[in-house]
Amino acid sequence: MTITKGLLITGALACATLITACAVSEPPVTTGQTSTSNSAASPSATAAPSSYPLGTKVIVPVTIEGIASVEVAAFYPNVTSSGQYDTSPGAGTTWAAIDATECAGTSGSSTGASSGDFSLLLSNGSTAETAFASGPLKPSQLAALNSLGGANTSLAAGQCDRGWVLFTVPNGTTPTFIQFSGATADFNQGNSVVKWPT
């Protein structure tokens, strides 16, 4: 009886080993070709176009500080301020401004909109510095607006903040693009940023 039990156990182990060995598939062969999977790619994996026309609202694929969409409606060169305490731009410079909007996503934004989320790229490869003015700004299209994020308040889900962002532009340079990068250096995982031509 003991021999029979031993043979049965040994036989069962041998069968289990054979079944397991047959069930294990061969490892995949790598050919160096790119996979052509039909699975849907996540939105953040798709590179954003290099630029959008002014007035285009752009959905941020990876929400940055709660901001889910951004828009630059217009660019204004040679801006002035009629604010009582505002100084004019320094010697050898002018002011330029954008009319921008940032909107919070479904969870809101605890930090709100910020003028620091935008940069003005110049023809010589440099970036214009942001400037401060209390306003109102001229031309008249900017007079009814305040500085973007000037209220320093959070945004509720779906709430937007619209305002101007002011830049100091050195004479002899030409603004080429307005760039949004939010609180990070990248717009998405593809290292693309949203830009609007001026």
Instruction: State the pLDDT at residue 86.
Output: 84
Neighbours of 139 (CB within 10 A): 13
Task: Please tell me which of 4-8, 40-44, 164-168 the model is most confident about, judged by mean pLDDT.
Answer: 164-168
Report whether 154 contacts 108 (CB < 8 A).
yes
Mean pLDDT (the chain, rounded): 74
* Residue 152 banded pLDDT, cuts 50, 70, 90: confident
Query: What domains, with CATH codes, occur in the chain?
Result: 50-197 (2.60.40.1240)
Pairing mode, if any, of strands 175-180 and 194-197?
antiparallel
- Per-residue pLDDT, averaged over 170-188, amounts to 75
Instruction: State the pLDDT at residue 49.
Output: 52
% of the chain at pLDDT higher than 90: 44
Reported as a single tens digit per residue, the pLDDT across 35-76 is: 223 333 333 333 445 689 999 999 876 667 888 899 999 999
Neighbours of 80 (CB within 10 A): 16
Reported as a single tens digit per residue, the pLDDT across 82-100 is: 888 888 888 999 999 999 9
Q: Is 131's pLDDT higher than 60?
A: yes
Q: What is the pTM of this model?
A: 0.70
Instruction: State the pLDDT at residue 50.
Output: 63
Instruction: State the pLDDT at residue 85.
Output: 83
